[in-house]
Chain A
Amino acid sequence: MTAPHVPLQALLRRFVVWEATAVLRHDLRNHLAAVRNATFYLQRRVEALAQDLIARDARVPKFFELTASELAAAEGLIADRLPQLPERPDRVVDLGAVVAAATAHVDLPAGVVRSAPPAMLGALGDADEIAIAVVCLIDNAAEALAPTGGTIEITNDRDGSHVMISVCDDGPGMASDVLARAFDGGFTTKPGHLGLGLNIVRRIAGRAGGTVELAAAARGVRATLRLRAAGETP
């Protein structure tokens, strides 16, 4: 089984850039799609209802073509020039080592303690990326507890063909509308934060064929990273 082997801080910085770019790419595509749709609609209307305008002014059809080609060029720039995450092959990942590396990386605020390390389980994915996801989840829990102190409980479990890492804090919790928007790119309730941590977790989970969910716990919030299990429990 593999364990994280690159400095997590460097990889986390790269993920922040990739994720910020992905949010930018998504938003730009939304704007461009609206312009492209509107232009296409206008072009069809003009062609159907204003043939005389097209006959009198050759610039009209030419500018429709120009708008379409410029939009396509902009889409090409977004697709080809903005940095994208490199593909990573699946490996069998030692979740115990991943959690150990992640917890060693995070400086917990004063008054915040972490529960005993979880049992070892094997997952499919990339050890470095899964460690980054766990770092983000622990960071998120630690920030929720920073004002008051509290406990972060990290557990893992196996459920058929999946393994789960859960990070649960006993802090003040999140309102339901905040929980619903927690994975929106750039959404944060914390001044000075980019609001990308949970997006990064979701992207990593997706790349590993897994999911991440947030739910209200008895106290605080439980984040569960669900990944494909690797063979038998070691």
Chain B
Amino acid sequence: MTRTILLVDDSEVIQLTLSALLEDHGHELAVAGSLAEARAFGDRAFDAALVDLNLPDGQGTHLLAELRARWPETVRVLMTGDDKAVAPDADLVLGKGSDPGEIGALLDRMIDERRGGRGA
């Protein structure tokens, strides 16, 4: 079954390249460049959300908190180039230097684990 991923990053080149990798892995992507664009997806629930820390209209951590409250089953990943980022509402803080060959499989494992009943 195709997994749906919400990708939130204001960098067009990150949107373009990460979407390509994840779609190639078999995921279905919804892409937003800001908190407002992400919120515009409204009632749509995703299997996982990959959210950049610094967005044009605020911090990605705010969106992670909203996702956690509304869709606790959604796997929440904060993407950042900052070594010291702290995100209590994220299941994982993923460095921008992470291996691109691993991200798709990593999301699959986390989604499987969440569906296995670990909860938020």
Binding site for B on A (CB under 8 A): 22, 25-34, 36-38, 40-41, 44, 75, 78-79, 84-85, 177, 180-181, 183-185, 203, 206-207
B20 at interface, CB cutoff 8 A: yes
CB contacts under 8 Å to A, within B57-103, are: 57-59, 80-84, 86, 95-98, 100-101
- Check A29 against B81 for contact (C-beta < 8 Å): yes
Binding site for A on B (CB under 8 A): 11, 13-14, 16-18, 20-21, 24, 54, 56-59, 80-84, 86, 95-98, 100-101
User: Which residue of the partner chain, among B13, B17, B59, contacts A41 with CB atoms under 8 Å?
Assistant: B17
Q: Which residues of B sit under 8 angstroms from A75, Cβ to Cβ?
A: 97
Q: Report A208 CB to chain B, min CB distance, Å.
A: 11
Once the chains are docked, how many angstroms separate the CA of A206 from the CA of B80?
A: 15
Once the chains are docked, how many angstroms separate the CA of A30 from the CA of B43?
A: 30
Q: Which residues of A sit under 8 angstroms from B95, Cβ to Cβ?
A: 29
Once the chains are docked, how many angstroms separate the CA of A33 from the CA of B15?
A: 11
- Check B97 against A37 for contact (C-beta < 8 Å): no
User: Which residue of the partner chain, among B14, B16, B56, B83, contacts A30 with CB atoms under 8 Å?
Assistant: B14
Q: Report B105 CB to chain A, min CB distance, Å.
A: 13
- Check B21 against A33 for contact (C-beta < 8 Å): no
- Check A37 against B17 for contact (C-beta < 8 Å): yes
Q: Which residues of B sit under 8 angstroms from A29, Cβ to Cβ?
A: 81, 95-97
- Check A26 against B82 for contact (C-beta < 8 Å): yes
- Check B11 against A41 for contact (C-beta < 8 Å): no
Q: Which residues of B sit under 8 angstroms from A84, Cβ to Cβ?
A: 83
5 nearest A-B pairs in the assembled complex, by CB-CB distance: A37-B17, A29-B81, A26-B81, A34-B13, A29-B96
- Check B97 against A40 for contact (C-beta < 8 Å): no
User: In the complex, which residue of chain B has the Cβ closest to the Cβ of A74?
Assistant: B97
User: In the complex, which residue of chain A has the Cβ closest to the Cβ of B103?
Assistant: A37
With A30-B81, A37-B20, A184-B54 already in contact, the answer to whether A206 and B96 are too (CB < 8 A) is no
